[in-house]
Amino acid sequence: MSRIVIAIPARMGSSRFPGKVTALLAGKPVIEHVYNACKKTGLGEVVIATEAQAVVDVCAQFGARTVLTSASCQSGTDRIYEATRNLQADFVINVQGDEPFIDPQTIVKIAQLLQEDPTCDIATAVMATTDDAKIDNPNCVKAVLGKDMRALYFSRARVPFKREPSDENKNFIYWHHCGIYGYRKEALARFVALPQSPLEKIEKLEQLRALEDGMCIKCVQIEPAGPAIDTPQDLQRAEQYWKEHRAH
- pLDDT tens by residue, 44-55: 999 999 999 999
Distance of alpha carbon 5 from alpha carbon 19, whole angstroms: 25
pLDDT at 248 over 70: no
State the pLDDT at residue 2: 80
State the pLDDT at residue 137: 94
User: pLDDT tens across 150-202, in order?
Assistant: 999 999 999 999 888 787 788 899 999 999 999 999 999 999 999 999 999 99
State the pLDDT at residue 13: 81
Distance of alpha carbon 142 from alpha carbon 37, whole angstroms: 25
* 238 Cβ neighbours under 8 A, 6+ residues apart: 25, 30, 100, 101, 226, 227, 229
**14 confidence band (pLDDT: 50, 70, 90):** confident
Amino acid at the residue 98 = D
**247 confidence band (pLDDT: 50, 70, 90):** low
User: pLDDT tens across 24-43, in order?
Assistant: 999 999 999 999 999 999 99
> What torsion, rounded to 10 degrees, do the Cα atoms 72, 74, 79, 85 define?
-90
Distance of alpha carbon 91 from alpha carbon 80, whole angstroms: 12
Compare 247 and 245 and report the one with higher pLDDT.
245
CA distances from 132 to 157, 168, 224 (A): 12, 16, 16
Question: What are the strands, taking DSSP E only, across the chain?
Answer: 4-9, 24-25, 28-29, 45-50, 65-68, 91-94, 122-129, 142-145, 151-155, 174-184, 217-221
State the pLDDT at residue 70: 86
